[in-house]
Amino acid sequence: MSHLIAEIAVPVPMRRSFDYIVEQSVVEGARVWVTFGRRKVVGIVLATKSHSDVDEARLKPIDAVIDTHSVFDTDLFTLLRWASQYYQHPIGEVLHSALPVRLRDGESAEAPPLEYLRHCVDLTDFDWQKLKRAPRQKVLLEWLATGQRPASEVRQSFSQSCIDGLLKHQFIEQFEAYPESQQHWWQGLSVADKPTPNLEQSLAITALVAMHNQFGIALLEGITGSGKTEVYLQSIEPLLTAGQQVLILVPEIGLTPQTVARFANRFNVPVEMLHSGMTDKERLSVWRRSNEGEVGIVIGTRSAIFTPFKRLGMIVVDEEHDNSFKQQEGFRYHARDLAAIRARQLNIPVLLGSATPSLETLHNAISGKYRHLVLQARAGNANVASQHLLDIRDQPILFGIASGMVERMRAHLTQGNQVMVFLNRRGYAPSLQCHHCGAVESCQRCDRPYTLHRFSNRLHCHHCGDQQFVPHSCGSCHAHNMITQGVGTEQLEQGLSELFPEYTVMRIDSDNMRSKVRLHQTLEDINSGKCQILVGTQILAKGHHFPRVTLVVIVDVDGALFSADFRAAENLSQLITQVAGRAGRAEHPGEMWLQTHQPGHPLLQDLLLNGYGHFARLTLDERKAAGLPPFSCQALLRCEAHDQEQAYEFLRQARDCFASSQVELLGPIPAPLEKRQGRFRMQLLVQSPQRAVLQKQLFTALPSIESLSLANRVRWSVDVDPQDF
């Protein structure tokens, strides 16, 4: 007897689906419970068919059907299936990672009904004396007399015994109902006061509005403070008025309550956030509400690209160059690139905004594939810091800062301004060394020096997270003469407090800003002038604006000038430009100083003299000459193993699975971080000027690579369009 068969995507790292027998009706995209090996897992129906290649006697039936409808809208389902192929990642894992955790675990996709309380006695001639001795119950009953309330809301102000008292006397009753839908939020939409756009902004807004309701991609290139966000706001306005929803993607640590407030203050539409700091319950609630069309604007980080929408009208990717849009493990997608694909399916526009566009995006804009919109003038009261190099060769240095710069800092501080000192190195000192024998305390599992953290009084490995007590004597020669080398943000903070005892120093890095609330509070303190000197890492470069800062000091970026990664120059220039862009207002023209031992370095010279735009265009020429992305397409095979020889051998065999006449193959070579957590890391780069050729080669090679006997003994992965090496 023949059954209907379903192809099910199961969340396992295998590049295939699994057949199950259908006993109840199922639809594509619905979740089902299936038995996989000995486990019960949530799978997703990819398709149904009448015949399986596997002997039907060996197939198991689907245990239970969870959804009567697909949990993915059609465009999302198509996007995810496409992404699974493009990124060469197992379909089961791709579909699962696109769902809120609670849906992965089988919870219902529909919002459950809420519990409500309402009064159930006739209150016209109610004898209130009955409640004489229960004043709280009286208050509650009076309140419910004005209308029913969700039980959860009542519990915020009234104790359970108070509620139970009224329930027992049957003065009130509890019932379940679905909350009133907010689907029609756009009716009666109001827009708060807005600035009159300047000429460039007007041109951009007009161009963007003309792109509505059709597919197209635009790059909005404009320095920090040039009014990009204002352009986002004004160009989405007609969409919201028409009841369309808008998705705004922002970098991981760039999402601030201020950003959200700007959208929420402009439009009286429901605005929701999605980020990693939320609970699974909160995320599911946003997912459901957006899916039902009850949310006007969703602002979220990378994975928000998988949010379902009822009527999506536009996707905005703010700070599109930011590397946090690329997922670095598991399903290694790029949210910006998926935004483009999703928009094409939905026939809607995408707006990419940045002060320092990625070279990929810039290339597409220059070549005319994307609409290129530019904001050169400064909007409102923003101002760009003048930029300078400080040659620190042979200069006396205090806590990493040249003595001349200390004086300059003092000058700014005496005028009542703030100073920002940027150093991309957390901790107290990047290494601890024996002054007698020279041995450096290193993590055995990563072969890299430990960073000394004074605050926790531990040695931290920044690569694997390992922590050790600080030794009093050298591990090799046992001499009691340990010294620190180099300066991290903790030491800089301490040093600056000593140098400027009359001012308050604040440090912002991922060690002391773990919570969003804390970061928000600190940013408020800075902008209200409670502190005068800010020390920090990367976090300072993203999303925040410090109008009272007039001097930015970049302590040390020389290391990045000599990186082997071809993207290092691009990332460094973006970082420098972004840091400089955080400061200043028209009435306080700012300056940025970059300390360096390489004042003649062409990258620094070009960047500071001619700006990011010029630098980026020159770098594109170089990439073209060298045949590097965006003029070629890459995939990186990574492998790690306890035995270095095994990692090498696996990639050597993997290399043979490709047709070397079709693609360029580089490697196997050791990864830049050669050892991590005790595993040796190797990599193999596959490259072709043609996307289709690269994809075809990956398709044919991967099944053979998967079946190599070493494949189960090493850890390996494929990264299409890798961002870091």
Out of 216, 225, 427, 584, the only residue in the binding site for ligand ADP (CB under 6 A) is 225
Smallest separation, CB 414 to ligand ADP (Å): 28
For the record, the structure tokens of 571 come out as: 């990332």
Residues 151-210, interacting with ligand ADP (CB under 6 A): 195-198, 201
Smallest separation, CB 267 to ligand ADP (Å): 15
Out of 224, 301, 577, 578, the only residue in the binding site for ligand ADP (CB under 6 A) is 224
639 is in an annotated binding site: no
Print burial letters for 589-603: b (CB count within 10 Å at least 16), e (below 16).
Answer: ebbbbbbbebeeeeb
- Cross-strand bridge partners of residue 596: 391
Of the two residues 129 and 196, which places its CB atom closer to ligand ADP in the complex?
A: 196
Smallest separation, CB 543 to ligand ADP (Å): 9
Q: How many CB atoms lie within 10 A of CB 517?
A: 11
CB-CB contact of 630 with 687 (8 Å): no
CB-CB contact of 582 with 382 (8 Å): no
- In the chain, the amino acid numbered 288 is R
Print burial letters for 696-708: b (CB count within 10 Å at least 16), e (below 16).
Answer: ebbeebbeebbeb
The tally of CA atoms less than 13 A away on the side-chain side of residue 651 is 28
From the list 695, 694, 723, 718, the residue with the least C-alpha distance to 636 is 718
Nearest residue to ligand ADP on Cβ basis: 380
From the list 501, 401, 424, 448, the residue with the least C-alpha distance to 671 is 448
If binding is defined by CB under 5 A, does position 79 make contact with Zn ion?
no
Residue whose entry in the numeric block shows the structure tokens 């999506």: 312
Of the two residues 148 and 198, which places its CB atom closer to ligand ADP in the complex?
A: 198
- Measure the CA–CA gap between 535 and 527, rounded to whole angstroms: 14
Of the two residues 342 and 371, which places its CB atom closer to ligand ADP in the complex?
A: 371
Selection from ligand ADP, Zn ion, none that 83 binds (CB < 5 to 8 A by kind) is none
Name the segment binding ligand ADP (CB under 6 A); options: 222-230, 422-430, 432-440, 503-511.
Answer: 222-230
Of the two residues 225 and 449, which places its CB atom closer to Zn ion in the complex?
A: 449
For the record, the structure tokens of 605 come out as: 């010279």
Out of 97, 226, 259, 418, the only residue in the binding site for ligand ADP (CB under 6 A) is 226
- Measure the CA–CA gap between 549 and 508, rounded to whole angstroms: 15
DSSP E strands, 303-438: 312-318, 349-354, 371-375, 386-391, 397-398, 401-402, 418-422, 431-434
CB-CB contact of 683 with 651 (8 Å): yes
From the list 250, 305, 263, the residue with the least C-alpha distance to 516 is 250
Out of 11, 29, 90, 227, the only residue in the binding site for ligand ADP (CB under 6 A) is 227
474 is in an annotated binding site: yes
- Measure the CA–CA gap between 513 and 532, rounded to whole angstroms: 18
Smallest separation, CB 445 to Zn ion (Å): 5
Smallest separation, CB 147 to ligand ADP (Å): 40
120 is in an annotated binding site: no
Out of 96, 104, 119, 228, the only residue in the binding site for ligand ADP (CB under 6 A) is 228
For the record, the structure tokens of 712 come out as: 């189960």
Q: What binding mask, one character per residue, do residues 442-471 give for Zn ion by CB under 5 A, x or -?
A: -x-xx--------------x-xx-x-----
For the record, the structure tokens of 331 come out as: 């399903």
Of the two residues 9 and 231, which places its CB atom closer to ligand ADP in the complex?
A: 231
- Measure the CA–CA gap between 1 and 57, rounded to whole angstroms: 10
Cis peptide before 449 (omega within 30 of 0): no
461 is in an annotated binding site: yes
Selection from ligand ADP, Zn ion, none that 286 binds (CB < 5 to 8 A by kind) is none
If binding is defined by CB under 6 A, does position 229 make contact with ligand ADP?
yes
Selection from ligand ADP, Zn ion, none that 380 binds (CB < 5 to 8 A by kind) is ligand ADP
Out of 11, 165, 216, 222, the only residue in the binding site for ligand ADP (CB under 6 A) is 222
- Cross-strand bridge partners of residue 633: 688
Q: What binding mask, one character per residue, do residues 533-572 give for Zn ion by CB under 5 A, x or -?
A: ----------------------------------------
Selection from ligand ADP, Zn ion, none that 445 binds (CB < 5 to 8 A by kind) is Zn ion
- Measure the CA–CA gap between 527 and 258, rounded to whole angstroms: 12
- Measure the CA–CA gap between 213 and 293, rounded to whole angstroms: 17
Dihedrals φ, ψ of 62, to 5°?
Answer: -65, 135
464 is in an annotated binding site: yes
For the record, the structure tokens of 622 come out as: 């170089």
Name the segment binding ligand ADP (CB under 6 A); options: 149-157, 219-227, 307-315, 423-431.
Answer: 219-227
443 is in an annotated binding site: yes
Selection from Zn ion, ligand ADP, none that 379 binds (CB < 5 to 8 A by kind) is ligand ADP
If binding is defined by CB under 6 A, does position 590 make contact with ligand ADP?
no
DSSP E strands, 458-547: 458-460, 467-469, 482-485, 505-508, 533-536
Out of 382, 401, 505, 603, the only residue in the binding site for ligand ADP (CB under 6 A) is 382
In sequence order, the 6+-apart residues with CB closer than 8 A to the CB of 192 are 265, 266, 267
Q: What binding mask, one character per residue, do residues 466-505 give for Zn ion by CB under 5 A, x or -?
A: x---------------------------------------
If binding is defined by CB under 6 A, does position 354 make contact with ligand ADP?
no
Selection from ligand ADP, Zn ion, none that 224 binds (CB < 5 to 8 A by kind) is ligand ADP
Print burial letters for 47-56: b (CB count within 10 Å at least 16), e (below 16).
Answer: eeeeebeeee
If binding is defined by CB under 6 A, does position 380 make contact with ligand ADP?
yes
Which residues here bind Zn ion, judged by CB under 5 A?
Answer: 443, 445-446, 461, 463-464, 466
Which residues here bind ligand ADP, judged by CB under 6 A?
Answer: 195-198, 201, 222, 224-230, 379-380, 382
Binding residues for Zn(2+): 434, 437, 443, 446, 461, 464, 474, 477
Binding residues: 434, 437, 443, 446, 461, 464, 474, 477
